[in-house]
Chains A and B, each alone.
Chain A
């Protein structure tokens, strides 16, 4: 008996088929990964199951009985729960109030808080989902908010739980906790649909995997019979070549140097960066490993001139650039892939063409006597689109209309096309699918192989390990260790990143 079964589901948005005859089935007591690249149709399929979209055709069975799901209300009454990527919580209310909203236990017309608390405790103890019913949602961490969403779904009797990219917002320790909870739920017979595009997580947690590509089901396999390579091939339709590792050996010239750089915290709080000294040489990638929020953003901003260091010196190719603004620093040869591409990296209402010269628009190539050289700008945009395989209809469409992966390719293309000797790449593949991630990592390595100095700041440990020649570990604003990448084990890095230096 299947917990849920979806047959020949088709859903069109305009002329695009987001789901095209998709079949999917999940068993009770299994963790079923729904794997595919961004835009493959995973979320659409699950939104149909949860009643947020109506399928154009196809049928749904719950516990082998045909089901009509016209809205989330129907889905919930059939025992289907969904935790969205963006949580649907009222920030000012307490955890308990959020969880019972919509089905409040009442006593004499008033909310029975004691009863609500008791029921929440029951659920949270049964599955190891520690939540504090009296905490206000805006005060708790993202990981805890996610747990609140899960408890909410379970309290409404979910026997099938859909998790839409739940790990995207979590830190590595939080991911481990989530997986523990998922295993406990599996033991209790809940069917878990885990939407993801991360292979490592798929291999670690799932029992079976269904792969979608371009809105079609490619197949369902048992995880035990699959390898990461076989899954990639199913996802992208071809196997990805191993990164080409031919390269010039690192030369000695230090292109980027930080000496004793500190950044004060807000209102006398803990310093965001304290006494950071780093040197990045020509032809090497220096990776910064650390749990998000340990000073990576400040490091990124201080190096690129978005933030002035409180003390310390920054030098580019031996020249002191401390205190220069972004324009000044970037003109001295810094290509910069910002961690927040939507906020920093582009003007989403501008066309691709106009975005392609953001930061170089004052160069002689693109403007003369105060006027933009329209043809040169368009030519430049076209060459980036072609060279970096940006999937776009036209260079006149707004940047915001591209998918995240294509936006990032455009941005990386723009940055690597400008004259530079140093690359600052912050979270360069965050939120991207396997294909785009692979492509962008290749570009970063190619840049290194041409003798650039690359400072890679990434919260993905795998990425840091894969790309770096040397790794510096950052913890609470300090560099706690720097060594050649080969001299770290993953376990060591994990301990250093979480501040357990003495145990190494």
Chain B
């Protein structure tokens, strides 16, 4: 996509957000709330002052990773609905490893714990990738199933092996040296956001310049031609799912190591699923994941303050988020689903 394409896509997204806010205003108004009060709280909650901005960044950070994870899988023609589960295993693996390594110097602890989170996510991504490559099991089905397994499994592991001896099911608090350093003192903005942006930069380069990226995209756009060109389609499929899983696992790592400082069962408000929306809005560009994640982070943090200070239910903000997704993403998502369906039926139908 050229520069012109990016610009028009940006304009299109801006119009969609505006449209969603207008319809949201109608919904808020007809529900008996003051639109002015609602939106001023939304704006202030998202951008008004250091604390609000920090909250927005904190909420954008996991979305940056999950959005990137889903966007990467899209590049290979895969629809990774499993980012949520990958996030949970990543979060637990990082928390457990960070706790276990408390004897090491902090920098090592953090790096090894992050690697563990990425590794756990990659391992969970491997499974649907392998099943797709070997027996053609559709990744949407397998990743959804694995979400349930991952979320329940992490809960079970915490309750059984890693439980804090307090009243709540959670791990013990990470010692300061096992946490991601704070970027802005006094807020929860951690190094996570920087790692996220570096991940975008790295993966953008991999996709656009490397042989691996070329082959992954070839498989995503036309697996028959990729096979013709000597590309190992099965291997690239598995690798793309593993990279995607690793990035989603990191989303969990930065949450447990940079925001919560522990693993808590059911901590995610659906970052993995919102990541799908982020990826769809970002389209083909890796860089566009950053503003897309920020947009959803802002809606989330602004929505919270709207609920807190104007007494407007969060659900109304969730509806606005849904409308944004609908307006920006529905056409893109629709055509993508159609494409993956036709790929599937081609496989099933054999040659005529």
Contact = CB atoms under 8 A, between A and B. Distances in A.
A361 B228 CA distance: 12
B163 to A, nearest CB: 44
A346 B215 CA distance: 13
Interface string B292-309: 000000000000000000
B83 to A, nearest CB: 25
B230 A370 contact: no
A331 B232 CA distance: 14
A24 interface: no
Q: Chain A interface mostly helix, strand, loop or mixed?
A: mixed
A245 B312 CA distance: 84
A348 B105 CA distance: 51
B224 interface: yes
- Chain A's interface size range is 20 to 34
Contacts of B101: none
A336 B214 contact: no
Contact of B210 (A330, A344, A370): A370
Interface in A321-365: 325-328, 330-331, 336, 338, 343-350, 354, 358-359, 361-362
A358 B210 contact: no
Given A343-B224, A347-B221, A374-B209, A358 B351 contact: no
A306 B210 contact: no
A370 B351 CA distance: 35
Contacts, number: 70
Interface string A5-45: 00000000000000000000000000000000000000000
A371 B211 CA distance: 5
A359 B351 CA distance: 24
Given A344-B225, A348-B222, A349-B221, A372 B230 contact: no
Given A327-B230, A327-B232, A350-B218, A362 B211 contact: yes
Interface string B213-229: 01101100110111111
Given A297-B351, A327-B232, A358-B218, A347 B211 contact: no
B230 A350 contact: no
Nearest to A358: B229
A238 interface: no
Contacts of B221: 347-350
Given A361-B211, A367-B211, A374-B209, A327 B231 contact: yes
Interface in A411-429: none
Q: Chain B interface mostly helix, strand, loop or mixed?
A: helix
Interface string A286-320: 00000000000100000010100000000000000
A440 B235 CA distance: 35
B351 A347 contact: no
Contacts of B225: 343-347, 358
A266 interface: yes
Contacts of B211: 361-362, 367, 370-372
A354 B229 contact: no
Interface in B179-236: 209-212, 214-215, 217-218, 221-222, 224-232
A370 B221 CA distance: 21
Nearest to B351: A297
A367 B229 CA distance: 15
A372 B209 contact: yes
B227 A347 contact: no
B165 interface: no
B350 interface: yes
A372 B216 CA distance: 13
Contacts of B218: 347, 350, 358
Interface string A249-267: 0000000000000000010
B210 A347 contact: no
Nearest to A272: B351
Nearest to A330: B230
Contacts of A336: 228
Contact of B227 (A326, A328, A349): A326
Contacts of B229: 326-327, 358-359, 361
Interface in B83-104: none
Contacts of A358: 218, 225, 228-229
Contacts of A343: 222, 224-225
Contacts of B224: 343-344
B201 to A, nearest CB: 15
A91 to B, nearest CB: 13
Nearest to B228: A344
Contact of B222 (A327, A347, A367): A347
B216 to A, nearest CB: 12
A416 to B, nearest CB: 16
A370 B214 CA distance: 10
Nearest to A373: B209
B347 to A, nearest CB: 13
Contacts of B230: 325-328, 330-331, 359, 362
Interface string B224-268: 111111111000000000000000000000000000000000000
Nearest to A344: B228
Contacts of A266: 350
A370 B209 CA distance: 9
B77 to A, nearest CB: 11
B285 to A, nearest CB: 14
Contacts of A359: 228-230
A347 B209 CA distance: 17
Nearest to A338: B228
Nearest to B230: A327
Given A297-B351, A348-B222, A306 B212 contact: no
A374 B213 CA distance: 13
Interface string B331-352: 0000000000000000000110
A344 B224 CA distance: 5
A372 B211 CA distance: 6
A348 B225 CA distance: 10
A372 B227 contact: no
B227 A371 contact: no
B241 to A, nearest CB: 20
> Could you say which of B224, B225, B228, B350 has the most chain A C-beta atoms within 10 Å of its C-beta?
B228
A168 B226 CA distance: 28
A346 B351 CA distance: 19
A217 B158 CA distance: 80
A367 B210 CA distance: 8
Given A349-B222, A350-B218, A354-B214, 4 more contacts: A326-B228, A343-B222, A343-B225, A372-B210
24 contacts: A306-B227, A325-B230, A325-B232, A326-B229, A327-B229, A328-B230, A331-B230, A343-B222, A343-B224, A344-B225, A345-B225, A345-B228, A347-B217, A347-B225, A348-B221, A349-B222, A350-B217, A358-B228, A359-B229, A361-B215, A362-B211, A362-B230, A367-B211, A371-B209
Interface of B: 209-212, 214-215, 217-218, 221-222, 224-232, 350-351
Interface of A: 266, 297, 304, 306, 325-328, 330-331, 336, 338, 343-350, 354, 358-359, 361-362, 367, 370-372, 374
